[in-house]
Amino acid sequence: MSSPIVLAANGLKKSYHKDRIDVPVLRGVDLEVREGEVTALVGRSGSGKSTLMHLLATLDRPDEGEVLFRGTRIDNAPRATRDRYRNRDIGVIFQFYFLLPELSAIENVLAPAMIGKSVWSYLKSRNEYRRRAEAMLDRVGLLHRAKHRPSEMSGGEMQRVAIARALMTDPTLLLADEPTGNLDTETGKEILQLLTELNQNDSLTILMITHDDEIAAGADVLWRMKDGLIETQQSARNEPLLATSAA
Ligand code: ADP
Ligand code: MG
């Protein structure tokens, strides 16, 4: 029996306009992410992966098609609904972390909890938020770095902080856009290990975007994207990925 679909894209189209010319980037993308699974979206640089992720995260809108979260359309939902979706249902991490340089690790992790709250309601729950932020930093193995700023951390540590920040609001689904793309192989493996643990031990559903077949091979399901379209979909875990992709 397959688990419920958490996130779905139906017929997503998106063009950018360059010199008055429409450049199609997504040309009708269908995609499903099932609860409890690690889904990999793999494709070469420029194939439209990040554009798709922005639509899935409601950071941008499609020209055509729809995005559904637990069966409810989210791409054209009212602003408050989209804000709630972004702030509670999903967590997002990127290749370049996007930590605020003037804040410490723990302050970066706390930031999403402060968004959308009045000062008073934040102050009222401040201790609770702080405890949760500490727990999340601990979860990613970085509690001892709580007071360090990003400039005092390695790439792998910054990505761990970004993961802790994404987990702060206890999302159902983590969208990860090339989360190891800026890291050396060993550090990248550690981050993948952490994400795998979060999937297996904490039931976090993950959509992992990558250009790297080796990374994608660890996922449960693999969607391959080419020139703005999904080319193939296959079950990935424990299957000889190289044999299938070479065929
Ligand atoms: P990927 O993440 O797979 O590398 P992207 O989604 O970032 O691919 O980009 C797909 C294509 O869309 C590329 O050709 C890129 O140049 C173009 N593109 C992305 N963002 C913009 C933008 N804001 N304006 C114009 N073109 C863009
Ligand atoms: Mg990209």
Could you tell me the residue ranges of all domains in the chain?
Answer: 5-235
| CATH number for domain 5-235, candidates 3.90.1300.10, 3.40.50.300, 3.30.420.40, 3.40.1010.10 | 3.40.50.300
Tell me which residues have their CB within 5 A of the ion that is ligand 2.
Answer: 49-50
Q: Which ligand is nearest to the CA of 23?
A: 1
Tell the residue nearest (CA) to atom 24 of ligand 1. Answer: 16
Tell the residue nearest (CA) to atom 19 of ligand 1. Answer: 51
pLDDT of res. 2: 80
pLDDT of res. 109: 96
Model confidence, pTM: 0.92
Higher pLDDT, 122 or 172: 172
Judge whether residue 78 has pLDDT over 70. Answer: yes
pLDDT of res. 243: 36
Contact between 200 and 166 under an 8 Å Cβ cutoff? The reply is no
Q: What is the DSSP letter of 88?
A: I
Name the β-bridge partners of 13: 27, 64
Judge whether residue 5 has pLDDT over 50. Answer: yes
**CA distances (Å), origin 5, targets 68, 80, 140, 208, 244:** 9, 23, 27, 16, 25
Q: Which two tokens stand for residue 21?
A: 């010319």
Q: What is the DSSP letter of 63?
A: S
In this structure, which amino acid lies at residue 85?
A: Y
Q: What is the mean pLDDT of residues 195-205?
A: 95
- Distance (Å) from CA 25 to ligand 1 centroid: 7
Nearest to 247 by CA among 239, 208, 39: 239
State the Cα–Cα distance between residues 72 and 203, nearest whole angstrom: 22
Question: How many whole angstroms from its chain centre is CA 39?
Answer: 11
The enclosing H or E element of 8 equals strand 5-18
Atom of ligand 1 nearest to the CA of 178: 2
Judge whether residue 246 has pLDDT over 70. Answer: no
Contact between 57 and 50 under an 8 Å Cβ cutoff? The reply is no
